[in-house]
Structure 1
């Protein structure tokens, strides 16, 4: 099975995350495939990233965190930054066609894309502190430029889920459409982009990367902290609790309802 499927529709390159069995969560190898797919689309006019089945992307594959291999996990963390760099450094407009749940690193993928069109079935949110991680590649920094600092902190600290209508109201996405009309709506946006000068679209994109560029050093610092925390009790417990569908018992914090 190919983890990332690429398809050309005229001048539009559709890149589809293709691991429905794990809600399109990515590991290091899948992140590599996404990087290559974006690079291979350099001769298109517009890039669209979407997901297979009911999810857009559930972020990094959490099974990797239960018994982490430090080298593998370090590679996945830094590949996450590399594929978002590919999106931002591509001369082409990149549209997220959010067909379902965008959680954790999947939400940060939406944040990294230039534009985002969402199905009315889509949901958004971060998972980091709830599962033994932190959203340092967009959730704690660039998202604040898109929806405001207080709201971004709410998203990254509390790990709640937000519907598509809320995402549109906050400026998280550009448009929400009925689920069955998502690909048609994205195609219309792509056609509007293709009617404009590719040279000046690139200039506009490079100039609009102001907040991404300002956030990138912070992202690298955050990645460094995540790497140092690989194998920590909090990481293992958070990932284990998520995979086992139970409430985490954080080290040093008494279980809810206990008394001394």
Structure 2
């Protein structure tokens, strides 16, 4: 089905692998189109409870975009390219099901932007992060200027984007860009373990947590009002009744997403 990515569904977790190891898993139009289809499947397939995005091999998560595709673009085509990237990455960011980046090497340019669009990031010890677009006379175009600033703060984000420097995995951890740093062989097991823990929680509540957290960073929304409305909506769910009953009965809840 796919040429530039691969997918594997195990125990309700979809593993999406950017599969161009000979090109350091660089993003091109094919990767982006196929990634969009895989994200659509996350939304539509009820068997999928969460997802991992990672890269093939041991060197790169996604080491940027396929620069050769940029050389002939007009400003209008550049705008269209950025808009397409924004749509796909916003779909990842707004997914009601958790999507976690397992960063297994270089996450540069569009790769760093892809990782930041995920709900959170787990990195291997050899991971490297950066937005080096200024080296090409460019700026991040898939939301990187916004998400990096939100995640690490304006000063650090500007330094990283203006110097084009790379962060090591420990530096990314200290900056708050990633949640955990583990050995490469532990990367997928750690990521899947977190997703399996999330699977034991109420899925409608998880989706509402995502919505509220994103509202906190959206200038067009009142995040506090969003929280009030989503909190209230929980009271119409069977999952709240089940969770409360399980708590009082001292047993594990059986959430159904209803």
Q: Which TM-score band applies after superposition, normalised by the shorter structure?
A: 0.7 to 0.9
Question: Separation in 1 of the partners of 2:120 and 2:196?
Answer: 14
Q: Point out where structure 1 has 5 or more consecutive residues left out of the alignment.
A: 216-260
> RMSD of aligned C-alpha atoms?
2.0
Q: In structure 2, do the counterparts of structure 1 residues 62 and 100 end up closer, same or farther at CA, with 3 Å as the change threshold?
A: same
Question: Separation in 2 of the partners of 1:198 and 1:157?
Answer: 40
Question: TM-score scaled to structure 1, two decimals?
Answer: 0.78
Work out whether residues 102 and 123 of structure 2, in 8 Å CA contact, stay in contact via their aligned partners in 1.
yes
Question: TM-score scaled to structure 2, two decimals?
Answer: 0.78
Work out whether residues 25 and 63 of structure 2, in 8 Å CA contact, stay in contact via their aligned partners in 1.
yes
Q: In structure 2, do the counterparts of structure 1 residues 107 and 203 end up closer, same or farther at CA, with 3 Å as the change threshold?
A: same
Question: Separation in 1 of the partners of 2:214 and 2:20?
Answer: 30
User: Partner of 1:151 in structure 2?
Assistant: 156
Cα-to-partner distance string for 1:180-215 (whole Å, 9 max, x where unaligned): 111111111111111111000000001111355349
Question: Separation in 2 of the partners of 1:65 and 1:95?
Answer: 28
Q: In structure 2, do the counterparts of structure 1 residues 30 and 73 end up closer, same or farther at CA, with 3 Å as the change threshold?
A: farther
Q: In structure 2, do the counterparts of structure 1 residues 159 and 36 end up closer, same or farther at CA, with 3 Å as the change threshold?
A: same
Question: Separation in 2 of the partners of 1:193 and 1:208?
Answer: 16
Cα-to-partner distance string for 1:3-45 (whole Å, 9 max, x where unaligned): 0111101110111101112111112222111011011122211
Question: Separation in 2 of the partners of 1:211 and 1:170?
Answer: 20
Question: Separation in 1 of the partners of 2:154 and 2:65?
Answer: 24
Work out whether residues 124 and 161 of structure 1, in 8 Å CA contact, stay in contact via their aligned partners in 2.
yes
Q: In structure 2, do the counterparts of structure 1 residues 211 and 17 end up closer, same or farther at CA, with 3 Å as the change threshold?
A: farther
Mapping of residues 2-151 of structure 1, within 5 Å: 2-42=3-43, 43=46, 44-53=48-57, 54-68=59-73, 73-151=78-156
Q: In structure 2, do the counterparts of structure 1 residues 102 and 211 end up closer, same or farther at CA, with 3 Å as the change threshold?
A: farther
Work out whether residues 91 and 205 of structure 1, in 8 Å CA contact, stay in contact via their aligned partners in 2.
yes
Check if 1:194 corresponds to 2:194. Answer: no
Question: Separation in 1 of the partners of 2:110 and 2:138?
Answer: 11
Question: Separation in 2 of the partners of 1:72 and 1:141?
Answer: 21
Work out whether residues 57 and 103 of structure 1, in 8 Å CA contact, stay in contact via their aligned partners in 2.
yes
Q: Which structure carries more relative contact order (alpha carbon 8 Å, separation 6+)?
A: 1
Question: Separation in 2 of the partners of 1:211 and 1:58?
Answer: 30
**Number of aligned pairs?**
216
Work out whether residues 86 and 143 of structure 2, in 8 Å CA contact, stay in contact via their aligned partners in 1.
no
Shift of 1:79: 2.0
Question: Separation in 2 of the partners of 1:141 and 1:121?
Answer: 25
Work out whether residues 142 and 212 of structure 1, in 8 Å CA contact, stay in contact via their aligned partners in 2.
no
SS for the counterpart of 1:209 is helix
Shift of 1:75: 4.2
Work out whether residues 126 and 159 of structure 1, in 8 Å CA contact, stay in contact via their aligned partners in 2.
yes
